[in-house]
Amino acid sequence: MTEPEYLADLLLSAGRLADERWRDGLLAVPRHLFVPARACAVPDRPRHAAFDIDRDADPDLWRETVYSDSVIAVQVDGQGTWTSSCSAPGIVVPFLQELRPLEHHRVLEIGTGTGWTAALLSWRVGEKNVTSVEIDAELSERARANLEAAGYAPRLVVGDGAKGFAEGAPYDRVHVTCGVERVPYAWVEQSRPGAVMVLPWSPPWGPGHLARFTVAEGAAVGRLLGSCGFMMLRSQRRPLGPPDGAVEQRAEAARSVTRVDPRTLVGDAAGLDLAIAGLVPGVRSLLEGAMDGSVRLWAISDDPAWATVDFVPGRAEFEVRQHGARRLWDEVEAAFLRWVGWGQPGRERFGVTVSAEGQRVWLDRPDQPLSLA
Ligand SMILES: C[S@@+](CC[C@H](N)C(=O)[O-])C[C@H]1O[C@@H](n2cnc3c(N)ncnc32)[C@H](O)[C@@H]1O
DSSP string, 338-366: HHHHTT---GGGEEEEEETTEEEEEESST
Residue 46: pLDDT band (50, 70, 90) is low
User: What is the Rg, in whole angstroms, of the alpha carbon atoms belonging to the chain?
Assistant: 22
CA of 134 to the centre of ligand 1 (A): 6
Give the SS3 label for residue 178: coil
10 DSSP 8-state letter: H
Task: Check pLDDT > 90 for residue 42.
Answer: no
Q: Evaluate: CB of 147 within 6 angstroms of ligand 1.
A: no
Going edge to edge, which strands form the sheet with 284-289? 254-258, 318-324, 305-311, 295-301, 284-289
Please choose from 84, 99, 235 the residue to mutate so as to test ligand 1's pocket, defined by most ligand atoms within 8 A of CB.
Answer: 84
Please say if the pLDDT value at position 189 is more than 70. Answer: yes
Give pTM, 2 decimals. Answer: 0.96
Taking CA atoms only, the protein residue closest to ligand 1 atom 4 is: 113
**% of the chain surpassing 90 pLDDT:** 93
pLDDT at 80 exceeding the cut of 90: no
260 lines ligand 1 (CB under 6 A): no
For the stretch 144-157, pLDDT in tens is 999 999 999 999 99
Give bridge partners of residue 285 from the DSSP assignment: 299
Where do the domains of the chain lie?
A: 3-177, 241-341
Residue with CA closest to ligand 1 atom 1: 85
- What is the spatial distance between Cα 150 and Cα 46, in angstroms, rounded to a whole number? 32
Question: Ligand 1 test: best mutation among 72, 234, 236, 238, most atoms within 8 Å of CB?
Answer: 234
Stretch 277-306: mean pLDDT, rounded?
96
In angstroms, rounded to a whole number, what is the distance separating the alpha carbons of residues 85 and 111?
A: 10
| Contact criterion met (CB below 8 Å) for 122 and 147 | yes
Least confident residue range of 76-80, 99-103, 121-125, 353-357: 76-80
Mean pLDDT score across all residues of the chain = 96
Question: Does the beta carbon of 83 lie inside 6 Å of ligand 1?
Answer: yes
Q: What is the pLDDT of residue 151?
A: 98
35-49, 166-180, 224-238: which has the minimum mean pLDDT?
Answer: 35-49
**Centre of ligand 1 from the C-alpha of residue 110, in Å:** 6
Question: Are 201 and 178 spatial neighbours (Cβ–Cβ below 8 Å)?
Answer: no
- Would you name the residues annotated as active-site residues? 87
Would you state the pLDDT for residue 152? 98
Whether residue 79 is predicted with pLDDT greater than 90 in this model: the reply is no
- Which residues, 6 or more positions from 60, have their beta carbon under 8 angstroms from its beta carbon? none
Domain 241-341: give its CATH architecture.
Answer: 2-Layer Sandwich (3.30)
Domain covering 3-177 in this structure, CATH number:
3.40.50.150
pLDDT recorded at residue 89: 97
Across 356-369, average pLDDT: 97
Q: State yes or no: pLDDT of 231 exceeds 90.
A: yes
Q: Whose CA is nearest to atom 14 of ligand 1?
A: 111
Q: Give the separation between CA 88 and CA 100, rounded to whole angstroms.
A: 19
End-to-end, the C-alpha distance of the chain in Å comes to 59
The answer to whether the CB of 262 is under 6 A from ligand 1 is no
Average of per-residue pLDDT across 30-50 = 86
Rounded to an integer, what distance in angstroms lies between the CA atom of residue 235 and that of residue 33?
Answer: 29
Average pLDDT over residues 335-358: 98
Query: Which whole number is the average pLDDT over 207-225?
Result: 97
| 3-state DSSP assignment of residue 305 | strand
Whether residue 44 is predicted with pLDDT greater than 90 in this model: the reply is no
**Would you say 299 and 285 are in contact if contact means Cβ atoms under 8 Å apart?**
yes
Rounded mean pLDDT, 252-274: 95
Q: Considering only CA atoms, which of 273, 294, 304, 142 is closest in space to residue 209?
A: 273
pLDDT of residue 240: 87
Task: Tell me what pLDDT residue 112 has.
Answer: 98
Separation CA 26–CA 222 (nearest Å): 27
> How high is the pLDDT of residue 268?
82
Is any atom of ligand 1 closer than 6 Å to the C-beta of 154? Answer: no
Does the structure show a pLDDT above 70 at 64? yes
pLDDT band at 78 (very low <50, low <70, confident <90, very high): confident
Q: What is the pLDDT of residue 9?
A: 97
| Helix, strand, or coil (residue 71) | strand
Mutate to test the pocket of ligand 1, among 66, 74, 135 (most ligand atoms within 8 A of CB): 135
Query: Residue 53's pLDDT is what?
Result: 96
Contacts of 50 (CB under 8 A, 6+ apart): 40, 41, 42, 73
Is ligand 1 within 6 A of the CB of residue 301? no
Amino acid code (one letter) for 141: E
**How much is the average pLDDT of 286-313?**
96
Determine the atom of ligand 1 nearest the C-alpha atom of 71.
1
